[in-house]
Amino acid sequence: MALQLWETLKEAIEAYTGLSPNTFFTLLALILALYYVVSGLFPSSSDHRHNTASRDFEPQMEPLRPPVQIGEVTEEELKAYDGSDPEKPLLMAIKGQIYDVSQSRMFYGPGGPYALFAGKDASRALAKMSFEEKDLTGDISGLGPFEVEALQDWEYKFMGKYVKVGTVKKTVPVTEPESTGEAAESNVHDAESSKPTEDDGPSESAAAKNDGTPSKIDADKE
């Protein structure tokens, strides 16, 4: 039955197209391939409407604002740029140099894996790859050679990727005045040095006057 159908189909192809069955099917395959290529280059209107609707539902990302120089600020003032205020840039400091990391908000912004570094000089934490609160400081004293090298790599990365916008103001420690006890002891020492010594006494001329001949008044009395 199938063989009869195939023979009937071949006769129909030759009768209506004048082509052999092999040539007909080869030409049909080429036409189908060309159709798929052309349809891929020119999407249908339904696909266009679907893509447009998808773009409408996507959140519109606001363009990044250009970095603004903030100059020299204290560590307390730097905390205001931790990303909690969307109107302010996202800043972070390394070795006292402040960089605008707003373009990496997904890493350093709220909810990001490095959000605790934002708004701080986290040099020590970066060098030690630590997330502890005690290491969120710019104090890098006592670091080992490998930690110093790691911090240097972070600094090179920030210098090449982000814009420097300011520096962290260094706080000068206030020195307390000397204790009053030392001052009192110094005053006592000065007072003792100013007292006359035992060798100091009346001058020889005064002694001679007292030990000499009786005065004129004594002579008159006699």
**What DSSP string describes the chain?**
-HHHHHHHHHHHHHHHH-S-HHHHHHHHHHHHHHHHHHHHHS--HHHHHHHHHHHHHSPPPPPPPPP---EEE-HHHHGGGSSSSTTS--EEEETTEEEE-GGGHHHHSTTSTTGGGTTSB-HHHHHHT---GGG-SS--TT--HHHHHHHHHHHHHHHHHSEEEEEEPPPPPPPPPPPHHHHHHHHHHHHHHHSPPTT--S-HHHHHHHHSSPPHHHHHH-
- Is the pLDDT at 175 greater than 80? The verdict is no
pLDDT value for 213: 45
**Mean pLDDT taken over the chain:** 75
Residue for token pair 């004594």: 218
Q: What is the mean pLDDT of residues 139-156?
A: 94
Domain ranges within the chain, ordered by starting residue: 2-47, 71-168
Contact partners, residue 19, CB within 8 Å, separation at least 6: 13, 27
Identify the band that residue 209 occupies on the pLDDT scale cut at 50, 70 and 90.
very low
pLDDT in tens, 113-131: 999 999 999 999 999 999 9
User: Residue 132: which of 147, 146, 117 has the closest Cα?
Assistant: 117
Identify the band that residue 52 occupies on the pLDDT scale cut at 50, 70 and 90.
low
Q: Which CATH number describes the domain made up of 71-168?
A: 3.10.120.10
